[in-house]
Amino acid sequence: MADTPTLPLPLDPREQPILDSLLRIRDELTLLKQDRSTYVKSSDVMALYDRTVDQVRDLNEIRTDKPQEDNRVDRVLDGCFQLLSLFFMTIGRNNEAPAAYALTSTIKRLLDHFTEVDLYSEKDLTHVSHTLNRLRDIVKNAEASYSPKLITLLRNRIELCQASLTNLQNRLDRLGEGLPAIHEKLISILRSISLANTRAKFSSSEVIKLQAQAKEIDSHRVDGKFVTASGEVPASNEEVGELLFKCLRWSEIVLERKGKIPDAFNEPYQILVDIRNRLEKLSLTQAWSLRETDLYDYQRQLDKFDESRVDGNFVDAEENFAELYVQRTLLYLIRRSYAYIYYLMVSSEPVSEALLPVYNQLQTLRRCLIEVKNSGGVSSPRELYPYSMKLNSIDNMRVDGKFMLGEDIPEGQGSVNDLLAECFELSYELRVAAETENEE
């Protein structure tokens, strides 16, 4: 993926060797990302991380009198940090400072889009707020382990996101009595209509049902206004009324267009639909199929589309602006895809991909044992044999209490061992309960 947007080459000739070094590092990171023949090792990632930090130190020394400089070096450096951040997740070091870099980028994109269109819910903001608090704790705990420059950079990125989040929350706080629930419902209807609009097979009946929900909300207004139980008009009545109008109007447009995109914008539409569908599939099969570094390519493709807009609008090959229907459809796909990337990042387990097959098996065993326990247990210890055999086979994989990959000790040993111990405990409880019941 080409760098986007195009940035000028460094004016200071001393930055050129740094750019060349960063390009080599990014190429090595890309090759490592694409290599599926083996698991990613911590030693490989840390070596590339140390080399990147060396370049940052050299760059900072050159720019002591021009810290605001922004050229192609910065774009390539951002790419290196994005990849390294995702690699830290891949090797299970999710709770270390570098892992926060990519997540703050995605959060910033999401918040910028929320701000642009003013279409977001309380649930959206609550989840992001929890994530930012977690990232703050990670960065704080990493002060002694990582470069002060990196810690400062991450702190600034987190606080930039926090400022946007606070502004969005203030806008929601203006909603008067009874309106937050209506606002939340309208946002849900709008998103559902946009989802129906981008399905492979358009369903008019689905959109009509959603439209009916919006009309039901409209029917409860009095003289075009929302009113409280005491008959008063709550604050921000007009804002929610405008949102209702958008909802009804969007349903009419979608029913009229039936998912048909003009030829001039069909290519970007198909690409964005494909990205959205792939990310949606990953969100369903994440535990078994995701390597976090795969998200880099999706993020860069989305960034390219997002940054190609002119004054916030999409343009075709002849520089013509997209009409409202196309504009909203493409923006929905971009925003939905960013949301999937965010979900996949925050759902990433702090376990190396080398241990994920074992970890996932134990997760499945744990769910099965809990289900057996909740449904009344077993009538005989013999029924637990399949679970016991599987647990023992996993336990026998350990060497001196550790799961090994050759000579390497992958990250996430504690998480896997805790899960294994929990499964053994559940199995033991079920066996004791069955034996006690049989004796009685």
| pLDDT, tens digit, 9 for 90 and up, residues 312-362 | 999 998 889 999 999 999 999 999 999 999 999 999 989 999 999 999 999
- In the structure, what pLDDT confidence band is assigned to residue 285 with cuts at 50, 70 and 90? confident
Whether 429 contacts 373, CB under 8 Å: yes
What's the rounded mean pLDDT across residues 87-114? Answer: 95
**pLDDT band for position 276 (cuts 50, 70, 90):** very high
> What are the E-state strand segments in 30-83?
none
Mean pLDDT for the chain overall: 92
Q: Kindly report which listed range (1-5, 93-97, 109-113, 189-193) carries the lowest average pLDDT score.
A: 1-5
Q: What is the DSSP string of 386-433?
A: HHHHHHHHHHTT-BTTB--BTTB--S-HHHHHHHHHHHHHHHHHHHHH
Q: Is the pLDDT of residue 421 over 70?
A: yes
Alpha-carbon span 114 to 167, nearest angstrom: 11
Does residue 4 register a pLDDT over 60? no
Residue 377 has pLDDT above 70, yes or no: yes
Q: What is the pLDDT of residues 128-170, one digit of tens each?
A: 999 999 999 999 999 988 988 899 999 999 999 999 999 999 9
Three-class SS state of 32: helix
Can you give the pLDDT at residue 71? Answer: 85
Question: Is 80 exceeded by the pLDDT of residue 272?
Answer: yes
Model confidence pTM above 0.85? yes
- CB half-sphere exposure, 364, CA atoms < 13 A: 11
The alpha carbon of 14 is separated from its chain's Cα centroid by a whole number of angstroms, namely 37
Q: Is the pLDDT of residue 3 over 60?
A: no
In the DSSP assignment, the letter for residue 41 is P
Question: How far is residue 368's CA from residue 363's CA, in Å, rounded to a whole number?
Answer: 9
Map out the domains of the chain as residue ranges.
179-260, 356-439
pLDDT of residue 5: 45
37 pLDDT exceeds 60? yes
Q: 160: which residues sit within 8 A by CB, 6+ positions away?
A: 108
Q: Whole-angstrom Cα distance, residue 86 to residue 214? A: 41
pLDDT at position 149? 86
Question: Best-predicted range by mean pLDDT among 56-65, 117-126, 278-287?
Answer: 117-126
Q: Where are the beta strands (DSSP E) in 122-252?
A: none
Token pair recorded at residue 372:
């057996």
The radius of gyration computed from the CA coordinates of the chain, to the nearest angstrom, equals: 26
First to last CA, the chain: 69
- The per-residue pLDDT for 2 is 38
For the segment 98-121, the average pLDDT, to the nearest whole number, is 94
